[in-house]
C-alpha cells in the first residue's frame, strides 16, 4: 500500500525528465527549419554572420562574416539575431 505513491511519483518524475528534452528538441528543430537567406545568426562556436545560402540536400548553409564566407552544418546555428535587431525597444 505504501508503494503506490512512490511508484506514481517515480513515474511522474520519469515522464517529466523525458518530456523536457523532447520539447527542447522539437523547438530547436522548428527553429532550424525556419531559417532563411538573410537571417543574421550566431553559431554554437560564437561566430556571428549572415546566412547567404542554405543547401537543402546536404543540410549545410553558407554564412558570410566580415572575414569571408564559411560553410556550416545547419545544426551548428544556435541563435537567430534578425528578430532582435528588427524589434523596437520597449518604452518604459
CATH number at residue 83: 2.30.30.140
Q: Cα(19)–Cα(14) distance, rounded to whole angstroms?
A: 9
Q: How confident is the model at residue 92 (pLDDT cuts 50, 70, 90)?
A: low
The answer to whether residues 13 and 3 belong to one domain is yes
The answer to whether residues 9 and 46 belong to one domain is no
Q: How confident is the model at residue 73 (pLDDT cuts 50, 70, 90)?
A: very high
Asked if 52 and 63 count as a contact pair (C-beta separation under 8 A), the reply is: yes
Residue 87 confidence (pLDDT) above 70: no
The answer to whether residues 14 and 52 belong to one domain is no
The answer to whether residues 85 and 50 belong to one domain is yes
pLDDT digits 0-9 by tens, 29-58: 888 888 889 999 999 999 999 999 998 888
**Residue 85: which domain range?**
36-92
The answer to whether residues 64 and 30 belong to one domain is no
In this structure, the chain runs to a length of 92
Residue 68 confidence (pLDDT) above 90: yes
The answer to whether residues 46 and 17 belong to one domain is no
Amino acid at each position: 500500500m505504501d508503494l503506490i505513491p512512490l511508484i506514481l511519483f517515480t513515474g511522474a518524475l520519469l515522464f517529466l525528465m523525458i518530456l523536457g528534452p523532447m520539447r527542447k528538441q522539437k523547438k530547436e528543430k522548428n527553429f532550424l527549419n525556419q531559417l532563411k537567406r538573410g537571417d543574421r545568426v550566431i553559431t554554437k562556436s560564437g561566430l556571428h554572420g549572415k546566412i547567404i545560402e542554405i543547401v537543402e540536400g546536404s543540410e549545410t548553409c553558407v554564412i558570410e562574416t566580415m572575414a569571408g564566407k564559411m560553410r556550416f552544418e545547419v545544426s551548428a546555428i544556435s541563435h537567430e539575431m534578425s528578430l532582435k535587431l528588427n524589434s523596437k525597444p520597449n518604452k518604459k
